[in-house]
């Protein structure tokens, strides 16, 4: 009987120590968006990688997974329609789980460390990051063009007020 109690105490203590160690390990992996940018966001590419992972994990995966809850609610109110919606939204829910797993914090850190070490990215992520960078560059160019137009308009207005002639190429 004493041996059984000792074994039980050792088992419980070892599990609690493992759980504490595992919890500390998990908390070290999970950073907020700002912390990732501060730690790894040295380049535009690094910031685009961080943005990609956070967008996919929080927006895309959560959106896919939310349909199952909605369809279950409809199934309680109108069973014939709800059952069909549950059937349609179940694959979306599974896809959301896969997306969350693919774009988790552990994989984000691995990709960022690999990129910082040798400048290489996995092919799928590289394509998506290029699209993000192209969109940001296009947006920056649009803003710069708009600022130039506004500056030229203000110069033109000032020139009209002063009865001066303004020639712009």
In a domain, 47, yes or no: yes
- Provide the domain limits for residue 149: 30-161
Average pLDDT over residues 28-54: 84
In a domain, 117, yes or no: yes
Confidence (pTM) = 0.63
Average pLDDT over residues 101-117: 90
- Asked if 111 and 57 touch (Cβ cutoff 8 Å), the reply is no
Interatomic CA distance for residues 48 and 50, integer angstroms: 5
Interatomic CA distance for residues 140 and 112, integer angstroms: 24
Provide the domain count of the chain. 1
Q: How many CB atoms lie within 10 A of CB 104?
A: 17
Mean residue pLDDT of the chain comes to: 78
Nearest to 67 by CA among 85, 46, 52: 85
In a domain, 132, yes or no: yes
**Tens-place pLDDT, residues 117-165:** 888 888 888 898 888 888 888 888 887 788 887 777 776 565 555 555 5
In a domain, 129, yes or no: yes
In a domain, 23, yes or no: no
């Amino acid at each position: 009987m004493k041996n059984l109690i000792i074994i039980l105490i050792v088992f419980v203590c070892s599990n609690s120590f493992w759980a504490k160690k595992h919890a500390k390990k998990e908390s070290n992996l999970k950073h907020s968006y700002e912390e990732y940018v501060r730690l790894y966001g040295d380049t535009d590419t690094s910031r685009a990688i961080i943005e990609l992972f956070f967008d996919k994990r929080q927006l895309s995966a959560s959106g896919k997974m939310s349909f199952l809850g909605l369809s279950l609610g409809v199934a309680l109110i109108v069973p014939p329609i709800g059952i069909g919606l549950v059937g349609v939204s179940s694959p979306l829910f599974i896809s959301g789980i896969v997306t969350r797993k693919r774009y988790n914090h552990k994989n984000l850190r691995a990709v960022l460390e690999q990129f910082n070490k040798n400048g290489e990215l996995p092919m799928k992520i590289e394509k998506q990051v290029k699209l993000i960078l192209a969109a940001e560059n296009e947006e920056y160019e649009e803003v710069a063009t708009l600022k130039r137009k506004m500056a030229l308009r203000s110069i033109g207005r000032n020139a009209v007020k002063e009865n001066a002639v303004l020639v712009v190429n």
